[in-house]
Structure 1
Amino acid sequence: MLLYYNKSFFWLLVERRGSVFYRWDSILGGLVVAGLGILVQYWLDRALHHGFEPSPVIFHHYGFQALGVGVTFAIVFRTQLAWNRYWEAVTQLHFMYSKWADAFSQFQAFAEVTRKAALEKGDQTKADRIERKQRRLKVNYALLSTVAADRLTQGDNQRMEEVHARGVQTRGSMRIDKEKSGWIPPKMSERKVFNRAKSNDDDHEYVVFQKPSKHQVELLGQSNDAISSVMYWIIWDLADVMKDIDIAPPIQSRMYQELSNGMLGFNNCLKIADVPFPLPFAQLLGLLLVAFSLLIPVYVIVFTRSPVAGPILSFLLFESIWCLNEVAKELENPFGQDTNDITLTDFHLNFVDSLEDVSMPEHNEMLHHPTMGLEDDWGGNSGHSHSQDSDKTLASAPGMSL
Structure 2
Amino acid sequence: MITYRKGFPSPYSLLFRIHGAAWIRTILPASLSAIMTVLLNVLGGDGANVPGIGGEDGWRHPYAYQTFAYIVGFAVVFRNGSAYQRYNQARNDLQTISGKLVECVAQICCFDLLCSSESAKIKSTEFRRAFIHMVSLLHGVMFQYLRSDWNLENLRAHVPGKHPVQDSHKLPMVKKMLFSASYWNTILCLQTTQYAQDVYNSLTPLLVVGGLEEEEKDALYPLMDGGDLYIGHLAPAAVRVETIYSWLHRLILARTESGGLKTHPPILSRSYQVLSDAMNAFNQCRGVADIPFPFPYSNAIVLVLVIYTVTVPILMWVWITSLYFGAFLAFIATFTYWTLNEIARDLEDPFLYEPNDLPLPRIQFLFNERILAIERETGGMERPPCQAALCTTWLNQNGPLSYQTVESHGIYEKVDWSSTPSDNTYFNCTVPPKRAMERIKTMRGSGVFGKTVFRNIQKIQRNLRDSL
Query: Under a length normalisation based on structure 2, what TM-score does the superposition of the two structures give?
Result: 0.67
Superposition pairs of residues 150-161 of structure 1, within 5 angstroms: 150-154=144-148
Task: Give the aligned partner of residue 272 of structure 1.
Answer: 288
Task: Give the aligned partner of residue 128 of structure 2.
Answer: 134
Task: Give the aligned partner of residue 342 of structure 1.
Answer: 358
Task: Give the aligned partner of residue 318 of structure 1.
Answer: 334
Code of the residue aligned with 1:27 in structure 2: it is I
Cα pair distance change 1:102/1:319, threshold 3 Å:
same
Superposition pairs of residues 203-282 of structure 1, within 5 angstroms: 203-221=203-221, 225-243=239-257, 244=259, 245-282=261-298
Q: Does the 8 Å contact 2:80/2:340 carry over to 1?
A: yes
Code of the residue aligned with 2:330 in structure 1: it is S
For 2:101 and 2:220, the matched residues in 1 are separated by: 20
Cα pair distance change 1:60/1:274, threshold 3 Å:
same
Code of the residue aligned with 2:296 in structure 1: it is P
Task: Give the aligned partner of residue 69 of structure 2.
Answer: 68
Secondary structure of the equivalent of 2:350? Answer: coil
Cα pair distance change 1:228/1:328, threshold 3 Å:
same
Superposition pairs of residues 34-73 of structure 1, within 5 angstroms: 34-45=34-45, 53-57=50-54, 58-73=59-74
Task: Give, in angstroms, the shift of residue 32 of structure 1.
Answer: 1.3
Cα pair distance change 1:193/1:301, threshold 3 Å:
same
Matched, 1:191 2:167: no
Cα pair distance change 1:188/1:15, threshold 3 Å:
same
Task: Give the aligned partner of residue 400 of structure 1.
Answer: none
Cα pair distance change 1:287/1:361, threshold 3 Å:
closer
Structure 1, unpaired ranges of 5+: 156-182, 375-402
Q: Whose helix proportion is higher, 1 or 2?
A: 1
Cα pair distance change 1:73/1:47, threshold 3 Å:
closer
Task: Give, in angstroms, the shift of residue 152 of structure 1.
Answer: 0.3
Task: Give, in angstroms, the shift of residue 5 of structure 1.
Answer: 2.5
Q: Does the 8 Å contact 1:41/1:306 carry over to 2?
A: no
Question: Deviations along 1:245-295, whole A, 9 cap, x unmatched?
Answer: 221111111110000000000000000000011111111111111111101
Code of the residue aligned with 1:153 in structure 2: it is R
Question: Deviations along 1:349-400, whole A, 9 cap, x unmatched?
Answer: 11111111111258622237762489xxxxxxxxxxxxxxxxxxxxxxxxxx
Secondary structure of the equivalent of 1:18? Answer: coil
Code of the residue aligned with 1:92 in structure 2: it is D
For 1:337 and 1:78, the matched residues in 2 are separated by: 17
Task: Give, in angstroms, the shift of residue 145 of structure 1.
Answer: 0.9
Question: Deviations along 1:191-231, whole A, 9 cap, x unmatched?
Answer: 23874378964632111122222221121116650001111
Code of the residue aligned with 2:218 in structure 1: it is E
Code of the residue aligned with 2:148 in structure 1: it is Q
Matched, 1:22 2:19: no
Code of the residue aligned with 2:22 in structure 1: it is V
State the aligned residue count.
335
Q: Greater Rg, structure 1 or structure 2?
A: 1
For 2:364 and 2:140, the matched residues in 1 are separated by: 7
For 1:149 and 1:103, the matched residues in 2 are separated by: 18
Structure 1 segments of 4+ aligned residues over 6 angstroms from their partners: 197-200
Secondary structure of the equivalent of 1:246? Answer: coil
Secondary structure of the equivalent of 1:308? Answer: helix
Q: Does the 8 Å contact 1:223/1:229 carry over to 2?
A: no
For 2:367 and 2:305, the matched residues in 1 are separated by: 43
Q: Does the 8 Å contact 1:150/1:186 carry over to 2?
A: no
For 1:272 and 1:251, the matched residues in 2 are separated by: 33
Secondary structure of the equivalent of 2:22? Answer: coil
Task: Give, in angstroms, the shift of residue 9 of structure 1.
Answer: 2.7
For 2:114 and 2:47, the matched residues in 1 are separated by: 93
Task: Give, in angstroms, the shift of residue 61 of structure 1.
Answer: 1.4
Secondary structure of the equivalent of 1:225? Answer: helix
Query: Under a length normalisation based on structure 1, what TM-score does the superposition of the two structures give?
Result: 0.77
Task: Give the aligned partner of residue 79 of structure 2.
Answer: 78
Task: Give, in angstroms, the shift of residue 97 of structure 1.
Answer: 1.1
Structure 2, unpaired ranges of 5+: 169-199, 222-235, 391-468
